[in-house]
Amino acid sequence: MSRVPIRIRLTAAFALAMVLVLAAAGIFVYLRLADDLNESVDATLQSRAAAVLSSGSPAAGTPGDPEEGFAVLVNPGGQARGLRADELQRAAAGEQVMVERDVPGIEGSTRVLARSEGGQVAVVGQSLDDRDETLANLVASFAIGGPIAVLLASLLGYALAAAALRPVEAMRRRAEEVSLADGAQRLPLPEAHDEIHRLGETLNEMLERLRRSFERERSFVADASHELRTPVAVIKTEIEGALRAGGHDPQVHEALVASLEECDHLGQLAEDLLVVARAGEGELELHPGTLDARELLERTRGRFADRAGERGRSIRVAADDGQVVYGDELRLRQALGNLVDNALRHGAGEIELSSQRDGEGVQLTVSDAGEGFDPEFAARAFDRFTRGDVARSSSGTGLGLSIVRTIAEAHGGRAEVDPRPGATVRIWLPDGPGTVSGTSQVADLTSRSEDTTPVRGGKGR
């Protein structure tokens, strides 16, 4: 029953209530009418019996139609039409006898009255055919009119339920369009200050609290990503200087290299957080242009070549010349960097960067010979802070693939995971303008960098 729409439930309840009311009213009217008709018949019989006794002649109480009734005047020891001997004896003894039975020659059942006066007994009978016909017509009227009344009442109940729920439906439709990023949107409130109006006010207050919390969180993420960049860059520079100076013990050298890699992790995290904040505001800044796909992949390979070599792995580019994509080079390098970083940290074997023509765009692919994505994880791989079982046991924030999808969609493209063996992620990008959805085209030197230092960290898948 809980799965039935509330309008239907209200209509069914209204119809059930109407059935109960009509049934109770019908029973009451039937019993009341039957009682009134019986009293009318009894009064007629009393007056006819009194006429027979006063006149001493049965003709005074005989109706015009012999099938409608009869009247007789009998002695106490005789026989009377419609009465048994014992009933006649009781009447002769002064008791008024009223019975109802079938009497030959009278239509329908007959109501018989016997009373005595002056040693004689007057017996009169009245056909109940008219009474029964009246009651039958009443039952038929309720049987026909009742369902019609219930149907009309149900339609009326449905209309009333729909009218009562119309403000709720209006709030539901508006709620589908409400975004936390748009502080001007509110749920519509009905004019009547009723429970639904108060519910709408409560929901609007809740939306406002959520917006304020969302704004604080987004501002914090943006500010934190900005503030982290400078100290991380300084620390990284100092560590690189120390490495270039040389003369360290092997353990110190290893510690410096690990520290440099963690600095890269922090720097990439700061950049990813900034993308998350900008995407949440709908203001992911893009500076699109025509890019050579092979050159883009080669530059990505160059960023990670040293790191791959340290791990005994290689990165290969497989792309034909002449293929172009239309997009923001730094954002696309960030997306590809996240994929290569994932492949280095969680994959195995050689990493292949490839591109191929696909419709009105180019598909960029990053793949390795690792175990690939678990089917259950693949369905939600691009959700924020989602990490696979392997990634959970290592460092990572679960933002990497989410950033890839955000950047791809900002370019009017898409990102998808290949379910086949091996870890493969594809990014489809248009080869010309017209589909890029990034909102701002103004350079932001605080959030964009031409840093080409090999990235040594990233996000878990």
| pLDDT tens, position by position, 152-183 | 989 988 888 888 888 888 888 888 877 766 66
Euclidean distance between CA atoms 366 and 336, whole angstroms: 8
Contact partners, residue 461, CB within 8 Å, separation at least 6: 342, 346, 373, 377, 381, 387, 388, 390, 391, 396, 400, 401, 423
- Cβ(449)–Cβ(330) under 8 Å? yes
The pairing of strands 97-102 and 69-74 is unpaired
Q: What fold does the segment set 181-281 form as a domain?
A: Helix Hairpins (1.10.287)
Which residues does the chain have with pLDDT short of 70?
A: 1-2, 76-77, 180-183, 265, 276-284, 374-381, 383-399, 419-421, 434-461
**CATH number of the 286-461 domain:** 3.30.565.10
- pTM flag (> 0.85): no
| pLDDT on residue 341 | 84
Euclidean distance between CA atoms 318 and 113, whole angstroms: 116
| pLDDT on residue 386 | 57
